[in-house]
Amino acid sequence: MDTTLQDPLVGHVLDGRYHVEARIAVGGMATVYRAVDTRLDRVLALKVMHPALAADVSFVERFIREAKSVARLAHPNVVQVFDQGAQGAYVYLAMEYVAGCTLRDVLRERGALQPRAALDILEPVLAALGAAHRAGFVHRDMKPENVLIGDDGRVKVADFGLVRAVDTVTHTTGAVLGTVSYLAPEQIEDGTADPRVDVYACGILFYEMLTGDRPHSGDSPAAVLYKHLHEDVPPPSAAVPGLPFELDELVVSATARNPEVRPYDAVALLAQTLDARMALSDEQLDAVPPGAVAGDRSGAEDRTSVIPRSLSVQRPLPVNDDDAELHRTSYLPSPPPEPPRAGRRTLAPRRGLLAVVAAVLLALGVGAGVWYINSGQFTKVPAVLDKTEAQARKRIEDAGLEVGAVRKANSDTVRIGRVISTDPGTGERIRANDSVTLTLSKGPDIVRVPDLKGFVLDKAKERLEREGLAAGMVTKAFSDEVTVGSVIGTKPAAGTERRGGSAIAIVVSKGRPVEVPDVLGEDVEDARQELEEAGLTVEVATGRVTADYEAGQVAEQSLEPGKNVSEGDTVELTVSKGPPLVEVPDVVGDSVDDAKQALEEAGFEVEEDRGLLGLFGDTVKSQSVEGGETAPKGSKIKIQIR
């Protein structure tokens, strides 16, 4: 299954400029994509930091430092950085796209290489690193995965993500960053990172090219680290008998455990490499390694990782120059006697000449071609994004390819009749004379909003989906025409044109509006009849409450009187069990006015009984409910006056 289809960036335009076509590789810190710069119409690689790391300021600073560092290395054997930017959570580098393969791919497919091929790869790698070292930078993560071999045979060094300034950052604390199979002992032990760690890694890399395998292996990263600290790298001839002494010497010199014994930087190692090449005959350079098998140990030691400092252990190192020289040569067999050669230069003049040659290589980025790695059979699909069909045909045919099927598809961003995509994609390798399928834009996918009036909500959503639209926000409104739960209309209205996938708001009917009658204080059955005639559903609560209303009358209603609600809405009625009982004040002997005031304040109504004898009296003779007893609040108390 093509996992790139699940990548949210594939098919999108990043930062309004870079059309992301495919995912190339995924690392611990970033993902690399093939993309097209729509402004300059060129294929490039986008290195996008994982969004989870973009929130970490230190990671972002390090990522940006890579862009600035590599941009200063204007060298043909270093992958160029064109641009750096960010969009939302995506922080990216726009880099040169190298169509071809990595050295790791070559080693897995072919195993050990002939000495000439190995040198043809090593020399441009050292030229690139030499430019970095002389500019004040260390790569720190050299490995076959970071050596790119283009279809044109050019060798380039990639991924300066761990680059550090030599004069500013030379140590780390607590962890070692790198790939365990290529870490120098001082990186493991104390985090030291000067140009000699790249020299060590190149020695391991060269050993692997000559033998098809790495010199140190183990069941865990810790086991590999231990061997780097305590075991010398053996000469490659121990694994591939017959390799010349000069190649053994080159590997052992570059991988000396004591950094003081190694060449001081990649330029120095390049001079030694050219010296070794000159000492070899054509037969030695082109010798096929006997029985070499491709190494495919894709275990934990292949990955760039952070190694806890607790894995570091002490290692013995030579303590003086004599010991260092012994250390450097302890694995080397004695060189065979050298036959006299006519006109052979002395070693010192030859080294001087090689230093000059190394400087030229360093400046020009020239390496002996490795075109035979990816020669002749393939070309790459040219960039034709946003071109007319005629323009695209011409570019494809000029590249030695043919145009196959021409398809059409909707596009919101590419004009009608212009190229949306190709199959294979832009920059992909394709056999010469093969065909390329073009997909042309037929413009945006325009859809008319369907008339959904009267649809129930679920059916309305299904209809929108069938038409290529999406259901948006659902709101409700009163309607005298549409039944409750059915669609009144949409926003935008039916018949409006919208792009495919647009969200359409739906308005659903709440039915006709009903004004809630006021039934408080009414008998329950009278209240029920009145509410049902208004179009409402009535429920009566099981419990009763003490209220100022008489027992059996409506004390509460759940819907506010006078409010508009939907037809069929339910109103709950709560019935009164009568008013609360209140203690009656004793007003016998009080004046009429005082008695009335006391009783009314207690919540009672007052009735006067004067008779014939009390017409002109002003004193309360008796009361219908004696003082101290209780009576329902709001009930009537009769007072007799004399």
91 alpha carbon, distance to own chain's centre: 10
Length in residues, the chain: 642
pLDDT at 352: 54
For residue 340, what are the CA distances in angstroms to 109, 132, 346? 40, 39, 12
Separation CA 641–CA 235 (nearest Å): 134
For residue 411, what are the CA distances in angstroms to 7, 41, 420, 446, 501? 19, 19, 7, 10, 12
pTM: predicted TM-score of the whole model, two decimal places: 0.52
pLDDT at 560: 92
* Chain position carrying tokens 């007003």: 587
Sign, CA dihedral 258-264-265-268, equals negative
CATH number of 378-441: 3.30.10.20
Separation CA 180–CA 301 (nearest Å): 5
Question: Residue 481 corresponds to which tokens in the numbers above?
Answer: 């025409």
153 phi, psi to nearest 5 deg:
90, -5
CB 633 within 8 A of CB 581: yes
Q: Residue 84: which H helix or E strand, with range?
A: strand 81-87
Pairing of strands 497-499, 537-540: unpaired
pLDDT at 356: 53
CB 497 within 8 A of CB 448: yes
Q: Which stretches within 579-630 are classed as H helix?
A: 592-601
CB 442 within 8 A of CB 410: yes
Separation CA 487–CA 506 (nearest Å): 7
**Running along the chain, 642 residues long, what does each successive block of 10 average in pLDDT?**
62 90 82 91 89 75 74 86 85 89 89 94 95 88 91 86 44 47 88 90 96 89 86 92 94 93 94 95 89 46 40 33 33 39 44 52 49 61 90 91 90 83 86 87 86 94 89 89 92 89 89 92 93 93 89 93 90 92 92 92 90 77 91 88 84
pLDDT at 385: 87
Scored b (16 or more CB within 10 A) or e, 78-97 reads: bbbbebbbbeeebbbbbbbb
* Strand arrangement of the beta sheet that strand 435-441 belongs to: 402-409, 435-441, 419-423
pLDDT at 209: 96
CATH class given for the domain over 581-641: alpha beta
Active site residues: 141
* Chain position carrying tokens 């005639």: 533
Separation CA 464–CA 485 (nearest Å): 17
* Chain position carrying tokens 């219908």: 624
Pairing of strands 402-409, 435-441: parallel
Sign, CA dihedral 64-68-73-77, equals positive
CB 587 within 8 A of CB 595: yes
- Topology alike, domains 446-509 and 581-641: yes
Classified by CATH at the fold level, domain 446-509 comes out as Trypsin Inhibitor V; Chain A (3.30.10)
Question: Residue 146 corresponds to which tokens in the numbers above?
Answer: 């970071």
The CATH architecture one would assign to domain 513-575 is: 2-Layer Sandwich (3.30)
Separation CA 68–CA 72 (nearest Å): 7
CB 452 within 8 A of CB 490: yes
Classified by CATH at the fold level, domain 1-97 comes out as Phosphorylase Kinase; domain 1 (3.30.200)
Enumerate the domain spans of the chain. 1-97, 101-334+371-375, 378-441, 446-509, 513-575, 581-641
Separation CA 203–CA 206 (nearest Å): 5
Question: Residue 211 corresponds to which tokens in the numbers above?
Answer: 């033998």
Give the list of residues 6+ apart from residue 118 with CB closer than 8 angstroms, or none: 206, 209, 210
What is the DSSP annotation of 139-186? -----GGGEEEETTS-EEE---TT-EETTT----SSEEEEEGGG--HH
CATH class given for the domain over 101-334+371-375: mainly alpha
Pairing of strands 147-150, 100-102: antiparallel
Give the list of residues 6+ apart from residue 77 with CB closer than 8 angstroms, or none: 124, 125, 127, 128, 131, 154, 155, 156, 157, 365, 367
Question: CA 9, 13, 18 angle in degrees (round to 5)?
Answer: 105
* Residue 174 CB neighbour total at 10 angstroms: 9
For residue 474, what are the CA distances in angstroms to 462, 471, 505? 14, 8, 6
Separation CA 253–CA 207 (nearest Å): 12
Separation CA 298–CA 109 (nearest Å): 14
Question: Residue 421 corresponds to which tokens in the numbers above?
Answer: 């995509």
Give the list of residues 6+ apart from residue 550 with CB closer than 8 angstroms, or none: 576, 578, 579
* Residue 637 CB neighbour total at 10 angstroms: 20
Pairing of strands 554-557, 570-575: antiparallel
